[in-house]
């Protein structure tokens, strides 16, 4: 039969290898995003006012915990990378297992939920970061990035990694759904023949 038999042989089919490769990349991307953003911190001593000839300095710290969107970003990326790790381990160590109906369906649904989670986190962080970079003159919010350039650069790197993770998770969930469809087609043809 030209079609892959996912039910009979759990491992080493084409879609299995593709899924494993995509999951490894998605795991690395979301883990990198979480780590870079969680280590994002910059301390700077700035002159805030001058009284006469005496400049008053204040030490300001920019850290990711100040912004709830970035906290959500870190938590969501950790969750998605953990999910990917779990799925990788499951895929490697259950090659002989038969993937029957509910198992494939639950993997597909979990993949979809995690894809939406990581896309939500990446988008929230990028819009708040855009506010920090450009400010907003209608609301009179000043820019942050001209003073804390390293903080902004590290944040931008984490965001790029997260968007790569979003794309990869979308591909992963598409492959999971197509495995589900192939499996159902295989089952339906066998039962109608019988």
Partner 1 sequence: MVKLTQRLGGLVLRFAAFCAALGAVIAMITSRERSSFFVISLVAKYSDLAAFKYFVIANAIVTVYSFLVLFLPKESLLWKFVVVLDLMVTMLLTSSLSAAVAVAQVGKRGNANAGWLPICGQVPRFCDQITGALIAGLVALVLYVFLLIFSIHHVVDPFLLRKS
Residue 29: which of 162, 141, 149, 146 has the closest Cα?
162
Nearer to partner 1, 15 or 174 (CB): 174
Output the smallest distance, CB 29 to partner 1, in A. 16
Residue 134 token pair: 């450009």
Nearer to partner 1, 96 or 137 (CB): 137
Nearer to partner 1, 117 or 164 (CB): 117
Output the smallest distance, CB 44 to partner 1, in A. 12
Measured in degrees and rounded to the nearest 5, phi and psi for residue 169 equal -65, -35
Return residues touching partner 1 (CB under 8 A).
60-62, 66-69, 72, 100-102, 105, 108-109, 112-113, 115-117, 119-128, 130-132, 136, 138-142, 144, 166, 170, 173-174, 177, 180-181, 183-184, 187-188, 191
Nearer to partner 1, 8 or 181 (CB): 181
Output the smallest distance, CB 72 to partner 1, in A. 8
Output the smallest distance, CB 53 to partner 1, in A. 25
């Amino acid at each position: 039969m030209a079609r892959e038999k996912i039910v009979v042989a759990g491992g080493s089919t084409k879609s299995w290898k593709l899924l494993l490769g995509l999951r490894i990349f998605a795991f690395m991307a979301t883990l990198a995003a979480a780590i870079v953003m969680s280590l994002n911190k910059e301390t700077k001593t700035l002159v805030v006012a001058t009284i006469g000839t005496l400049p008053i300095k204040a030490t300001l710290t920019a850290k990711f915990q100040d912004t709830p969107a970035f906290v959500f970003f870190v938590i969501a990326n950790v969750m998605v990378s953990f999910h990917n790790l779990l799925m990788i381990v499951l895929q490697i160590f259950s090659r002989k297992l038969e993937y029957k109906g509910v198992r494939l369906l639950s993997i597909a649904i979990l993949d979809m939920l995690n894809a939406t989670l990581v896309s939500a986190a990446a988008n929230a962080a990028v819009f708040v970061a855009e506010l920090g970079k450009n400010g907003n003159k209608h609301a009179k919010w000043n820019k942050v990035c001209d003073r804390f350039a390293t903080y902004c650069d590290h944040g931008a790197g984490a965001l790029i990694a997260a968007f790569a993770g979003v794309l990869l998770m979308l591909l992963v969930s598409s492959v999971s759904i197509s495995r589900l469809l192939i499996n159902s087609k295989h089952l339906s043809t066998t039962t109608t023949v019988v």
